Chains A and B, each alone.
Chain A
Amino acid sequence: MKLQRTIFIAIIIGLFSSTLYAQEAQSDYEIQQTFKEQYADYEQQVENVSAPDSAEKLIKSIKQFDQNYSEHKELLDKALYPDTYEEQMESLKKSSVRTLNKVETITQQQKQLKKLENQLATYEQDLNQLDQQTDSLKTAIRQSAKNEKELSNMVREYRQNLEKRDELILTFIDSMVVTYQNMDLDALQEIEDYDKASRIKTNDALKLIHDISEENIQILKRNASKLQVDDYMRMAEVNHQFQAMWSRLGDKIHEVYEGNNADMLAENINGNLTEWNNLLQTNTVDAMKDYFAQQGIETNAFESADEFNKALHSYLDRKIKESRDNRSEENYSDLQQFKEFWNRVEVQWTSNLAQANVLSQDQTSKLNQKVDEWTQIAQPRSNNILVYLLGGSVLLAVALGVMLIREKKTNGSA
């Protein structure tokens, strides 16, 4: 009985082994065919993989594939001639690692975009809030019948609101730059082509950029009389950063955020930026007029940036000539007044004036030469005469003293 059982088990094992053996029987032709098919399949998978996890699994699977076929290396070298097995496996492994890196980058980019979306929502909310406050203040200022002090406080608060708004825009620009500057648009496009669901279906960034540019134009249009040179210089900086962001990243922002009106928004932004520049230039020149009037700097009238530059040259030429012809206290006082303005230009506003297209850095530099020239010759003559008189008096006193001592000595000896 026991013997029968042993024979029965042996037969079963034998049958099982032969079946297994038969399944494993593979010709060289089949080995190379299967290898080629699997290789092509892996190439396809490498092409299509869209998530880092899948890419990592694929890399492991390729390693296993290599282990499975490395024993047939010699055969496959012949089958793959002029390529070799090693070359093909190396190429597959490299492209799988490249894909993993690419997919990781894309995932990172998508995370950044998601994060930006949340940030944008906050920015939008804050900006709206600030705009509402600013509008309310503006209305209050317009309708106010309060005394001058209260009105002045409201205007100050209004200007502070605009300053906060500009800070918020700069933060928004930073967020946009951080998210978009290293974005690999081609890789993003590639993955989107494969997996349409991964595309971010929102227009928030483009819309927000559009709205900011639109609102800034409105602010510049509405507030020409309430703002000062300082405000416009800050706005020039914001405008410059905003334009730099748009010219560097506009295409990517446009590309990444799809929507029916994306093209229209992008076109409007370009138009708005031109208008924003023009208004900024005009308002800055107007604010300069007010500033000069307040400071008592009497230049020729100017209505444009070009006329402003000419007026400054003409003013400086006139003052330099005055100094040469007749150095006076009045001229010197004008210089001090002008230098107060010019120091702010040199220290704070040079780049802002250039950004606002009011004075280029070259123009500022040429004006600066004239300011230096005026400074050198504007010292009032009266001051010098006093010094000379004082010096002469001292010399005379010394000479008289010496003569007196000599005379005393002569009389004594006589």
Chain B
Amino acid sequence: MKSFIQVITVISVVAAVLLTGCKQSMVISKVDYSQSIESVLQPDDDGTVTDPQHGITFNIKPIQYAETQDTSSVTTNQVRYIRGQEGYYYITAPDYKNVYVMAPEKGKLVLKETLKVTDNGITKPAFNQRMTHIQLLNRSTGEVWKVTAEDIKKKESQMAQREVN
């Protein structure tokens, strides 16, 4: 009788282990989230921007606060963002000094990195999707930065020109 109980216990443990293995969630790897062309959006009075093409709506005010420490009113009429391969959102606006790298989570965007571009900000910024990174372009001057989720580097003019073209 005792040995029977032992056998039953062993079988139960093995079954439990096997069943636990079956419950593991499926994983699809090597997902490319990259958005081929940046989105240029106009915030409403509340600072909400909506991109129907890519199915995302968020409020710009937290980023504006980080940039200007002011949320009394929406101070920009244009928000530019692009999504990189890993899924991060790169967000900036005209005259902003930084690029904000935001990680998408359930119902929210979480700041991953604030990447400083210049002290004075870029008057006419634009994002381009490139093979390995995001490119930030100052359309007024032609200056180019290589942007990743962790880092931003200004490109030399000749290299930048090649990259832009």
Using a CB–CB cutoff of 8 Å, the interface residues on chain A facing chain B are: 18, 21-22, 24-30, 32, 75, 78-79
The answer to whether B37 and A75 touch across the interface, beta carbons within 8 angstroms, is yes
Residues of B with C-beta under 8 A to A26: 139, 164
**Do A22 and B140 contact each other (CB < 8 Å), given the known contacts A27-B38, A78-B36?**
yes
A32 to B39, CA, bound (A): 12
Residues of A with C-beta under 8 A to B161: 21
- CB-based A-B contact count at 8 angstroms: 47
A18 to B164, CA, bound (A): 14
A–B pairs, 12, beta carbons within 8 Å? A18-B142, A21-B142, A22-B141, A22-B142, A25-B139, A25-B140, A25-B141, A26-B139, A27-B137, A32-B37, A75-B37, A79-B36
The answer to whether A30 and B139 touch across the interface, beta carbons within 8 angstroms, is yes
Residues of A with C-beta under 8 A to B37: 28-29, 32, 75, 78-79
The answer to whether A25 and B36 touch across the interface, beta carbons within 8 angstroms, is no
A18 to B129, CA, bound (A): 24
Which interface class (under 10, 10 to 19, 20 to 34, 35 or more) fits B?
10 to 19
**Do A24 and B142 contact each other (CB < 8 Å), given the known contacts A29-B126, A30-B126?**
yes
A272 to B147, CA, bound (A): 85
Interface residues of B in 146-165 (CB under 8 A from A): 157, 161, 164-165
Which residue of chain B is the closest to A71 with respect to CB atoms?
A: B165
Which of A18, A27, A29, A78 counts the most B-chain CB atoms under 10 A from its CB? A27
A304 to B134, CA, bound (A): 96
Using a CB–CB cutoff of 8 Å, the interface residues on chain B facing chain A are: 36-38, 40, 80, 126-129, 137-142, 157, 161, 164-165
Residues of B with C-beta under 8 A to A75: 36-37
Given contacts A24-B142, A32-B37, 12 further A-B contacts (CB under 8 A): A21-B157, A22-B141, A22-B142, A24-B164, A24-B165, A26-B164, A27-B127, A27-B128, A29-B37, A29-B80, A75-B37, A79-B36
Nearest CB of A to B117, in Å = 15
Of A18, A24, A27, which is within 8 A of B126 by CB? Answer: A27
Which residue of chain B is the closest to A78 with respect to CB atoms?
A: B36
Residues of A with C-beta under 8 A to B128: 27-29
Residues of A with C-beta under 8 A to B142: 18, 21-22, 24-25
A30 to B124, CA, bound (A): 12
Which of A22, A29, A30, A75 counts the most B-chain CB atoms under 10 A from its CB? A29
A78 to B35, CA, bound (A): 9
